Amino acid sequence: MKLIVAFAARNEAEKSVAGSQSARRWLCMALAAPVAAMVIGCGSGTNSSSTSVSTDPSQLYFSPRMDSGLLTTYAIDHTANTTCNTSPTLSINCNDGTFVRSTYSASGATIQDSGVIPLSPPNGPTFPDEIYGLDTTYINGGSNGTVTLSGPVAGSWAVELPGQAALVELNVPQEKTNQGGSIIPAANYFTPAVPTESCPSLATEENFQFVTIPKILASASSQSITATAWNPKLETAYGTLKISTSGSTVNFSNVSQFTLAAQGSGVPIVPAAVTATASCSPTYYGQVISIPGNSTVNSEGSITPAATIGIGPSGFLVEDAGTGNDPATGLPYENILGAGYGAIGLPQPSSDLTSSLIGAQYQGFVYAPGASGFSVIGSFGGSSSAQASCATLLGQLAAAHFQLSSNSVYGGEFAGNDPSSHTSGNCDIAIDLGLQQGGNGLYSQATVYVGTAFPENGLGSIYSFPAVAIGGQLQGKNAIFLIGADRAGSPSRSWGIYLLQLN
């Protein structure tokens, strides 16, 4: 259930668009979507190194295929676009930043959505630290046509450590196209996004940890693996590995994968740790790692399954697990790291960061995949005693006789999925990390508690489900990523929670 990364287009044309600077120049020349040409930054600058933050305000990010079904890049530029040429019918502030979401095929790039990032009031940023509004101005509806909106439409959000890591939720409104009035249906896409302006360069071998980015939850009775669901009893929930680099060669060693377990440390997926050698090279998605590195399209059009991995300058790791079947077994392809849509990971901390993790303030997303799923932007952090809004949740926890450890983080969604008019999110979810298991930053016996005020609580009462979380730091900022299997709620769902400390 993994990735088809290698188009026949692993060629010189593809290499010519590597990195954000080349990518923007190529897109400006090659793409003709009416708003896209305006919103892509075409200025000059220098690429970031693999060990420092880029000074280039425009960042190219790679995203796994997730619910959109497509490998994607985001070009995010927070620089005021003072040279933009506005359309007489399109109300755009040229002092705003810009974003572009693009997908790719062997023939090149297609801009799917684009728009502006409000940089100053009244439209932004008036919401919590480092949350950015993404206001849509152009939508590509594929066979339904395209639409250039009469004005920017708010409701999409990004949480970003610029040049290090990003979490993006794009809410595309239902619109009539410019061609014949066909309807482009509304859509909601959430994805992590990793900067890929450079290949990783690790002076010494480093330890990493990851959790799977889940697909929909397989039924509790399922004893099989399918391409459409994540089975927490049989497939990877989390894992550990070591990564080293030598030029463009990337070595993955001691890759250990484990299932989710309500108790204990999980069951190993394979009897021994896995080792693999891959290559990092320029592609449409920036400089990414392909495993295996020799994926090709043959005359019948079939593709050797592969995984695509991006690693940011401070170690933020995102994998697209891809699609396809293992040619030896016929089963959905099991890639090098996560199951589901792939994996999200962090460098393993060298010391116990638990007290720092539970004391920090976070912005991020709560995500459940699939047509019946959801993604909402939220705010978490600090002890419950520091949050007056937690009184109702604490009362429900006590009434249900749930006893949380001191290693707990409280928070929830922003009302109406709109942080623009709120200084903090609701408090209707608690994450009990529990004790570290198996190393610093690994919490394999975590538990998530869902209060009745959470909009997606279909049960009508507070409940809990098992999870596993990893915690670490990206350039001195804390991060927590979690996967859980919610069989107690209604409907049953797999959950991902992705939090970045931004203040």
Vertex 472 angle, CA 425 and 441, to 5°:
110
d(CA 384, CA 326): 47
pLDDT of the residue at 395: 95
Please choose, from the candidates 165, 479, 201, the residue with its C-alpha nearest in 3D space to the C-alpha of residue 348.
Answer: 479
pLDDT of the residue at 35: 33
Beta-carbon neighbour count of residue 476 at 10 Å? 8
The model's pLDDT over 411-453, given as tens digits with 9 standing for 90+, comes to 999 999 998 877 778 999 999 999 998 899 999 999 999 999 9
> Is residue 336 predicted with pLDDT exceeding 60?
yes
> Is residue 234 predicted with pLDDT exceeding 50?
yes
Residue listed under structure tokens 């109406």: 416
332 versus 27: which is more confidently predicted?
A: 332
Name residues whose C-beta falls within 8 Å of residue 249's C-beta, 6 or more positions apart in sequence.
277, 278, 279, 280
Beta-carbon neighbour count of residue 327 at 10 Å? 10
Q: Which whole-number Å values give the CA distances from 145 to 30, 104, 111, 332, in the listed order?
A: 19, 17, 12, 33
Flag the least confident range among 21-25, 104-108, 275-279: 21-25
Q: Which whole-number Å values give the CA distances from 117 to 75, 164, 454, 491, in the listed order?
A: 12, 18, 28, 35
- What are 178's two structure tokens? 């410019």
Please choose, from the candidates 390, 396, 435, the residue with its C-alpha nearest in 3D space to the C-alpha of residue 410.
Answer: 390
Provide the strand spans (E) within 118-265. 131-140, 146-161, 165-172, 175-176, 183-184, 187-195, 206-213, 216-217, 229-230, 238-246, 249-258
The model's pLDDT over 125-163, given as tens digits with 9 standing for 90+, comes to 556 667 889 999 999 988 888 998 888 899 999 999 989
- What are 264's two structure tokens? 């204990």
pTM across the whole model: 0.85
Q: Are 250 and 283 in contact (CB under 8 A)?
A: no
- What are 115's two structure tokens? 């728009």
Confidence of residue 300 (pLDDT cuts 50, 70, 90): very low
In this structure, is the dihedral angle defined by the CA atoms of residues 8, 9, 15 and 20, taken in order, positive or negative? negative
In this structure, is the dihedral angle defined by the CA atoms of residues 348, 350, 355 and 357, taken in order, positive or negative? negative
The model's pLDDT over 199-228, given as tens digits with 9 standing for 90+, comes to 999 989 999 999 999 999 999 998 888 888
Name residues whose C-beta falls within 8 Å of residue 308's C-beta, 6 or more positions apart in sequence.
3, 5, 62, 64, 71, 285, 288, 289, 290, 319, 320, 322
d(CA 387, CA 383): 7
* Average pLDDT of the residues in 346-353: 97
DSSP letter string, 86-106: --TT----TTSEEEEEEEEET
Beta-carbon neighbour count of residue 117 at 10 Å? 25
What's the one-letter identity of residue 441? G
* Average pLDDT of the residues in 81-109: 71
Rg (CA), the chain: 22
Residue listed under structure tokens 């069951």: 267
Please choose, from the candidates 232, 252, 255, the residue with its C-alpha nearest in 3D space to the C-alpha of residue 244.
Answer: 252
Q: Are 488 and 463 in contact (CB under 8 A)?
A: yes
* Average pLDDT of the residues in 466-487: 96
pLDDT of the residue at 18: 37
